[in-house]
Structure formats: C-alpha cells, structure tokens
Amino acid sequence: MNEQHQFYVGGAWVDPAVPRTLGVLNPATEETFASISLGTEDDVDQAVKSARDAFATYSQVSVAQRLEYLERIIAGFRARLPEIARTMTLEMGSPITFSTERQATVALFHFEEAARVLVNYNFEEVTGAGIVRREPIGVCGLITPWNWPLNQVASKVAPALATGCTVVLKPSEIAPLSAMLLAEIIHDADLPPGVFNLVNGDGPTVGEAIAAHPDIDMVSLTGSTGAGIRVSKLAADTVKRVALELGGKSANIVLPDADLESAVTAGVHSCFTNGGQNCQSPTRMLVHHSQRDEAYAIARRAVETVRLGDPLDPDTTMGPVVNQTQLEKVTGLVQSGIDEGATLVIGGPDRPDGLDTGFYVRPTVFGDVTPQMRIAREEIFGPVLSILHYESEDEAVEIANDTPYGLAGFVQSGDPDHARRVANRIRAGRVYLNGAPFDRSLPFGGYKQSGNGREFGRFGFEEYLEVKAVLGYPQ
C-alpha cells in the first residue's frame, strides 16, 4: 500500500491537522492501492499563510532566478517521467502508452512553455505619459480534476510560478498521486519555502475553503460547470479573480466536401481519446443526411480497431473509466439514448466481453440523434459519440451552437477556406480544422458555460498578472 498521508506546506511535508484518510482505487482492478489524507479548513489556512508569507519576497525574485527554478523543475520532471506516467495509469486508468506520450509529456510541456514565455516577456512598457506594469496577482488557489491529473495541474502551476505568484494546490482526491510526485520535484528544485503548497482533500471541504479564503487573490478551477458556479459564488464575497475551465459538448461538423472516411475515423478516435474523459471531446458529430449510411459504416470500422483492456499493456488503446460512479453515469446515458430512440450503431450499456473486473465501458456510437436527446445535450465524459444529421450548412452551425457549452469545435472540409468560414461562426474558444493537433502554446478556454479566462501560452501566463498604470513617469 502506497501511503501518502502528509501535505506539502511551507517547503516541508507536514501532517494534517486532523487524521482522516481516503483510499485511492485502481480503476482497472477496482482495488485500493494507495491512501492519502483528506485536509480541512485548518490545513488550507496553514497553506495560505505559508503562501502569503512567501509572496512578499518571491514576487520580487528576478526573471533569471525564476527561469532557473523552472529549468530545475523541468529537469526533475524529465528524469521521473516514466514514474509519473505509470502513476497516472494506476490512479485513473489511462493506457500506459497514452500516459507516457500524452499525459506526462504534455504536463512537462506547460513548464517548458512557461519558461519560453517568461524569457522574452515584457513586464513594463512606456505608454503615453506613464508606465504600464504587469505584476504577479498574489496567492493563487488551484483546483484540478482527475481526467488529466497532471496536465491540468501543470497548466496552472507553471505560469503561476513563472509570473512570481505563490500557490496552494488541491489536486483531485480521485487521482492525487501524480501531483504529489510533482510536489517532490518542486521540493528538489529548491524553491523558497511556501512558494508551492499542496493540500489533498475533497471539493466541499478543501476546495470550498480555497475558493472562499480571504487571503487568496485568485482561484483557478478546472472541473464541471456546477463546480465552477459554486466556486464563483464562494469567491464573490472577496472579489477575487476567478478563472474557470469547465464542461463541453463539442460539435464536429463534417462538411459534404470533406474526405468522409478520414473525417469520421479521426472523429471517432478523437472522441474516444482518454476513454472519452475529455472536456473538449468532439462528442457530437454532424454529418449530412446524404452521407448517413456511409458514415455509420465508417464509424463501426473505427470502433472495431479500439483495443479495450489492461491499461498497463502497451498495446491497449482504451482503459477503464475512472470509477463506479462514472461507469454508472456513462452507461445510464447510453441507456437513455436507446430509450429515446437513437440508433445504436455499435456498443451499448453492457459490460464488455471478457472484462469482468474494472470500470470498463463499451465504446459506443449512436446515430439518428436529435438535438434534444440527453446524449446530445449532456456531457457524458465517456466513450460515447452521437451522430446528428443536417441538410444545410446553416442548420449545421445552428445545431453546433445549440448548447450551453462553448469549449471547442471541429470542422472538416476539403477546402481550408471553407472550413475557416464555418469555424468563424462557431461559438467556442477553440476550433480545430481538419484534424489539427492540440497546440498548447495557443489559448485554451471556453465561451458560455464552458468557463472564462484562458490557459496555455502567453494568454495563460497573463491570467496570473495584474495590470498597474504608473502615471507621471517619465516627467
């Protein structure tokens, strides 16, 4: 049993204020393989005090020194990348190949990107009769999810440290161990005590204490839209900055001039990436009515190539969903699709053959989905694709935008200019054209109930800065 019962506060591993533990499940075996402590408001208070004390000096640290800290973290991360990848596979079920090539690697990228932005960033500029300064916002409370357990941590921690902020992090209690490895890496990088702090715990206790704490200047959350609403309300009393990256129900418009075989195949696999446990997954595929039957046949072939199984097997392409709660949610929504009259193209709510242990879900595709069905409106967060049909381009855009979410969109066309024109009409923070890769130097965030603020690259960096105007200089 891997017992991780301390928190990282003030540059040291410390015992919780109240002993209370929680088991960490391996979703492939359903066995408890580790345990952590659950924090309290007192633990948050201590971490915030440590971060507040450290901010006074760390906010004045030179760019060169902050770059040195980041480079030490990057070197430590690279050295432990295989361990980090395996830990994420054990705690949330991501296949080991995916954990290595994507989960761990992209988390490392955020530190590299923060260093890249920092080295050339102009924190002061003369404007008119004064100076505009960009200064670190202060103590940042960071609340992160289980689906990309270190990527989302790094996307917040890296720019916060780069800009001169101090941090109190609450990783998901479902998948906390990779974040604790990052805390060890940061400790070995010799940052000043209190700059980075980690307190494990659940959302209603530790998360809410962070959101409401009067000495936290900014809270950044990645999670459900419901959690974002709750955090915003708690943060409002102290008028702190709130950055939210929330849910999604992204549309993938396959235009009639697209290569249908390529577009549908790629769309299926993109929807099922990370077991479908992605906020920006293209879970609604929009196909022209005339291409209905052909699209279904292509989708079936794509699903048949998915290898579901042991996530530690390097040949596995899809592991389990994260826990029993998620399993029941996904299969319940699959059943709702059947009950509401959608065509089950492939998959279904039953347990996959030969996988009697673990939280495994059949990769599923529905056709003849209408915009009002639950599977077309709710974020399923599992390997379920809904195919909807349209007659005109205007109707496709209307369906794509008919959602309370606006995190991402996808457009497939044989004509890049045509794809671009349609992309400009989609109300979402990101739109991918023709299978474009996920670029973490470009801003990421949502319209509508998918959140506010942006992460990644320069835009994510600037979320952690305040803007100050100094007037009367030079005279």
How far is Cα 21 from Cα 142, in angstroms, rounded to an integer? 21
* Region at 77 (left for phi over 0; alpha for psi -120 to 50; beta for the rest): alpha
245 classed as catalytic = yes
How far is Cα 221 from Cα 231, in angstroms, rounded to an integer? 8
- Beta strands 139-143; 130-136: pairing state: unpaired
Three-state DSSP state, 458 = helix
- The answer to whether 350 and 362 are in contact (CB under 8 A) is yes
Query: Per the residue annotation, which of 91, 245, 455, 463 is the catalytic one?
Result: 245
Residue written as token pair 């290595």: 100
Q: Which of 48, 45, 36, 49 is nearest to 17 (CA)?
A: 45
- The answer to whether 465 and 140 are in contact (CB under 8 A) is no
> Tell me, what amino acid is at 282?
P
The neighbouring-strand residues paired with 132 are: 125, 469
Q: What is the DSSP letter of 404?
A: S
CB neighbour list of residue 85: distance below 8 Å, 6 or more residues apart: 96, 99, 100, 103, 104
- The answer to whether 464 and 163 are in contact (CB under 8 A) is yes
Q: How many helices (H) and strands (E) does the chain have?
A: 16, 21
- The answer to whether 319 and 95 are in contact (CB under 8 A) is yes
How far is Cα 284 from Cα 301, in angstroms, rounded to an integer? 18
How far is Cα 465 from Cα 134, in angstroms, rounded to an integer? 6
How far is Cα 182 from Cα 154, in angstroms, rounded to an integer? 9
DSSP H or E stretch at residue 303: helix 292-304
Q: Which residues are catalytic?
A: 245
